[in-house]
Structure 1
Amino acid sequence: MPRPLNILTLATLFPNASAPNFGIFVERQTAELASRAEADVTVVNPVGLPPWPISQLAQYSALAGLPEHEEWNGLNVHRPNFTLVPKVGGSRNPKAIAAAVLPLLKHLHGKQPFDLIDAEFFYPDGPAAMRLSQALDIPFTIKARGADIHHWGVDPKCRAQILEAANQASALLAVSQALKQDMINLGMDGDKIALHYTGLDQQKFKPVDRAAAKAKLDVAGPLFICAGALIKRKNQALAIEALTAFPGATLLIAGKGEEEASYRALAAKLDVAERVRFLGSVPHDELPALVAASDIAVLVSKSEGLANAWVEALSCGTPIIISEAGGARELVRSDIAGRIVAQDVGAIIGAIRSVLAAPPSQGDVRATVSHFSWQNNGDQLLEIFRKVTTAF
């Protein structure tokens, strides 16, 4: 048997002690890859810290206290710091990351040479990986997930770096066919882009006795859930507004973020505050019970690649109401899976009424994502990495 591939996973999106759900999907993918006998995986999670005095803010002081090296849920993780300039310094981040990471990588590479750098977010990870690959003379790949293309790709200074990295990379990955097309439209070579759907733990995200689960949550009427960061792009405000049309319904909001105060104010203004439960950052292992108890997951983001929350809800037997974003039509192929709607309160209300009037069976909903698994995700990723290292 050939020796295992020695893979360096470069990921600015990765959980840590202060944000255990941040980039959880990257952790799950990496853990699957690391579980294979054919792969040795080292994670480098660069941590951006601003100059003093901004570094004294609570959100940054917690990051400053993270260990430089630790075992995180069985993964070997290094967390070197780089200088971050919030709001205005985005175009500088790839160069700053590469400069901060390179001494560590040279040390690790000298002890056990890496075969490949796996960049897990297109920006800033991709352009940083390009610089590191040139220094170590090894190939690199980049995965696009959504916001890295839709947000950073419209910034001219960042777009130029994104396209240069895409041109230099040995392979590119996209989480949906729709995102692949967006990458092509941006100027990338479609022949280099592999479709790489997210994984899914179908043993955790599965249907339950919904009536009993609702009773445990002290919910009598319809139950809706929004799972995701509380940021404008995720559009939770529309779900709160739609709740006004369903007097007996409850809305669970699982996540935290900068919009929480405005969402709480909106719920109070609309007189639905008692029926909107802000749950904060729910541990990922506790999320399945909440999603499976819900009648509908309302996730009408402004942009996505292919949201893990969509796939996880369907696996729980919970239909989804989502916007025409990213790979929406790659999941919602019929009314069994849910509805694709305009980012409009009236459209959401109509879709909720339609689903509640004729709810699909939990088993039928779950069957729509039966092909999603971390096993399949890992198999495909390992095959891509084998091809890249063989061809380099």
Structure 2
Amino acid sequence: MGERGPGPPVGLREGWGVRVGINGFFLSEPMTGSGQYTIALLRELRAIEGRHEFLAYDRGPLGRETGRLCALLSDPHRSNPAKLMFEQVGVPLWCCRNRVDLLHVPYFAAPLFGPRPTVVTVHDLIMLALPEYRGSPFVRSYMALACAAARRASLLIADSICTQRDIIRFLHVPEERIRVIPLAVDGSFCPTLDRAQLESVRRRYGLSDNFVFYIGGLDRRKNVSTLVAAWRHVDGPYELAVAGRTYSGDRTMFPDLERAAFEAGVTERVRFLGLVPEEDKPYLYAAARLFVFPSLYEGFGLTPLEAMRCGTPVVCSNSSSLPEVVGDAAELCDPHDARALAETINRVLRDPARQEELRARGLARAGQFSWSRVGRETLAAYKEVSNGR
């Protein structure tokens, strides 16, 4: 992209059109939530007609901005300092070189001294809401920097009202500087009636016709150990299929779920699938009798929405953002009470009419969330900032 000459930013000089620079750090990590958000947002923004430009600064040839940053990024032992340099030095310099009108950081890591008006998307504030997630001294310092930068931003985007409340509570940012723009899920999640495909995915993972599904993180806040403990009280021939991978050997953050299954006496009824490919997820949702999500804290909670888009009945936690995401289209329960969770699962599994009702409501509810809406509302936020509100 060529450099622009001196003078006021083109977008603010020639009627409303804007040149937005987007921190694309996670574009190369499409399996992460931040990566999926950034990719989908860029796609939708670029599909909107108008005199707008959307530039993404990724982890490509960064030498001109930050000198040795390329070498740092290629060294996994120095990844934390490299990421910090990318965010605090590389991004601001890139904004100046490309004369963007506005910077959007699509995750919680804005530059403290940004050269342009800045919009920051805050997906969640887990490390502030849950003390056990605050990590090492470096992580705590990094979070302090991210909090200070967010307070200086022109506008914050929250995925949910729950996250908006957390921003007000922990960052002390006034409500008028926060916009709530709910997320969406990819169009590949949809009901599947192809029995051969469903049978194929069940056979591949060694699952019966009667399985209940969980997919997501296996860390402590996801509360999968409570779901496993609840399984001893689940009636009938149902097995629990748990998909996800433990990313650390730290048992304080990643409980030993196989041991939990053994202690609950349900080893033969719980299957651990490991990390499953993205292309298998819609079929696993669709093949399941029920999807259960007992998480203690979510900034939004995409997986219940994915399940609903596949026509799968959902039981989920009544905590954090989840009630506002699922509305009346899921059975809610107390995630701290294993027996209550089991009773809720049993109630749905025993009642085919309730399952059909949840399928219909889930499909209708999921249809209210779209990436095109995310794109339009985000562009409106850019306009608000560029016009000085």
CA contact (8 A) 2:112 2:145 kept: no
Contact 1:21–1:283 (CA under 8 A) maintained in structure 2: no
The amino acid across from 1:330 in the alignment is E
Structure 2 unaligned blocks of 5 or more: 1-13, 63-69, 135-139
Equivalent position to 2:175, from 180, 190, 196: 190
Normalising by structure 2, report the TM-score.
0.75
Partner of 1:371: helix, strand, or coil? coil
Answering whether residue 376 of structure 2 is matched by residue 368 of structure 1, we say: no
Secondary structure at 1:243's aligned position in 2? helix
How far is 1:271 from its partner? 4.4
What residue identity is the alignment partner of 2:245? Answer: K
Range with bigger deviation, 95-104 or 21-30: 95-104
Cα distance 1:79–1:130, how it changes in 2: closer, same or farther (>3 A)? farther
Indicate conservation of the 8 Å contact 2:127/2:133, yes or no: no
Matches within 5 A, 1:1-392: 5-10=18-23, 15-16=28-29, 20-21=31-32, 23-26=34-37, 27-36=39-48, 38-44=52-58, 81=73, 97-101=83-87, 104-105=90-91, 108-109=94-95, 111-122=97-108, 125-126=109-110, 129-131=111-113, 133=114, 137-146=115-124, 147=126, 149-151=128-130, 161-186=145-170, 187-201=172-186, 203-209=187-193, 215-216=199-200, 217-218=202-203, 219-244=207-232, 245-257=234-246, 258=248, 262-334=256-328, 336-358=329-351, 359-361=354-356, 362-391=359-388
Residue aligned with 2:213, SS: strand
**In structure 1, distance between residues paired with 2:333 and 2:84:** 40
SS across alignment from 2:366: coil
The more displaced of 293-302 and 111-120 is: 111-120
> Per the alignment, in what secondary structure is the counterpart of residue 391 of structure 1?
coil
Kept in 1: contact 2:102–2:118 (CA 8 A): yes
2:319–2:335 CA contact under 8 A, matched in 1 = no
* Alignment CA distance shift 1:15-1:250 (3 Å): farther
* Deviation, structure 1 residue 290: 0.9
1:214 & 1:193 partners in 2: Cα distance?
42
Q: Structure 2 vs 1, CA of residues 168 and 40 (structure 1 numbering), >3 Å: closer, same or farther? A: same
Is the contact made by 1:117 and 1:140 (CA closer than 8 Å) also made in structure 2? Answer: yes
Structure 2: distance between partners of 1:279 and 1:293? 15
What stretches of structure 1 of length at least 5 have no aligned partner?
A: 46-66, 70-77
Relative to its length, the structure with more strand (as a share) is 1
Aligned-residue Cα RMSD (Å) equals 3.5
Change (3 A) 1:149 1:10: farther
C-alpha distance after superposition, 1:151-189 (max 9, x if no partner): 489968566545432331110111111221122122221
User: What residue number does 1:75 align with?
Assistant: none
Cα gap change, 1:340/1:210 in structure 2, threshold over 3 Å: closer, same or farther? farther
Structure number, greater radius of gyration = 2
Q: SS state of the match for residue 367, structure 1? A: helix
Partner of 1:48: none
Q: Which amino acid aligns with 1:8?
A: G
Q: CA deviation at 1:213?
A: 5.9
Give the percent of matched residue pairs that are identical in Structure 1 and Structure 2. 21
Equivalences, count: 345
Residues in 2 aligned to 1:303 and 1:30: alpha-carbon distance in whole angstroms: 27
